[in-house]
């Protein structure tokens, strides 16, 4: 079912148009990379606070609340540009193992974020001002960093047709 959807998108005029444009694909790809600097940059700064590696004097809630809007703006850029990238060459992404692993990792990163916010973060008042948050919190931070590092790596490796 997904295969036939991807096949149909591959044949769409809009998809073909981007594929054949000299400049459109590079622009979308560049937006994806530069958006990553904003999105992932601020995610990592928050994670570094969670693992007590930086901004230790700032309450965690302050870091979270003040960076969140920018993280979300960055996320919009990432999702839109990422979707466009797949839209441009759906069949290539469909068969690419790194693309599939990246998608799974993205879901895991999302689950990790939600689990943190609906779990340990609910009781943030207890450890908000601590330079070193509780173990569970630090674990969520480490998991986030590891997952996103893997996501970026997989994303880069998609371009290499090692498994064709």
Partner 1 sequence: MSLLHVFEWFEATSVGAMIRQSTWMFPVIEAMHLLALALIGGAVLVVDLRLFGWGLRRMSVRQLASDAQPWMVGSLIMMIITGVLLMLSEAIKCYYNVAFWWKMGFLAVAIIYTFTVRRRVIAMDDGRLGPLGARVAAAASVILWSGVGISGRAIGFY
Q: What is the spatial distance between Cα 63 and Cα 44, in angstroms, rounded to a whole number? A: 11
**Does 17 contact partner 1 by CB under 8 A?**
no
Residues in contact with partner 1, shown as a per-residue x/- string from 54 to 93 under the rule CB under 8 A: xxxxx---xx--xx--x-----------------------
Question: Which positions from 124 to 143 touch partner 1 by CB under 8 A, shown as an x/- string?
Answer: --------------------
Report which of 153, 121, 122, 125 is spatially closest to residue 46, judged by C-alpha positions. Answer: 121
**Shortest distance in whole angstroms from residue 162 CB to partner 1:** 7
- How many angstroms separate the Cα of 145 from the Cα of each of 41, 86, 101, 109? 11, 24, 16, 9
DSSP state of 53: S
Positions in the binding site for partner 1 (CB under 8 A) = 26, 29-30, 33-34, 36-38, 40-45, 48, 53-58, 62-63, 66-67, 70, 148-149, 152-153, 155-157, 159-160, 162
């Amino acid at each position: 079912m997904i295969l036939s959807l991807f096949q149909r998108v591959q044949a769409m005029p809009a998809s073909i148009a981007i594929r054949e444009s000299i400049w459109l694909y590079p622009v979308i790809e560049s937006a994806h990379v530069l958006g990553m600097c904003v999105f992932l940059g601020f995610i990592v700064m928050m994670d570094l606070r969670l693992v007590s590696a930086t901004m230790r004097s700032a309450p965690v809630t302050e870091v979270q609340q003040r960076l969140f809007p920018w993280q979300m703006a960055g996320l919009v850029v990432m999702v839109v540009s990422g979707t466009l990238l797949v839209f441009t060459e759906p069949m290539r992404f469909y068969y690419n193992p790194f693309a599939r692993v990246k998608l799974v990792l993205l879901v895991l990163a999302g689950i990790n974020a939600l689990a943190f916010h609906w779990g340990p973060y609910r009781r943030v008042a207890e450890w908000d001002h601590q330079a070193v948050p509780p173990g569970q919190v630090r674990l969520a931070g480490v998991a986030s960093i590891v997952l996103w590092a893997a996501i970026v790596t997989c994303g880069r490796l998609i371009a290499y047709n090692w498994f064709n």
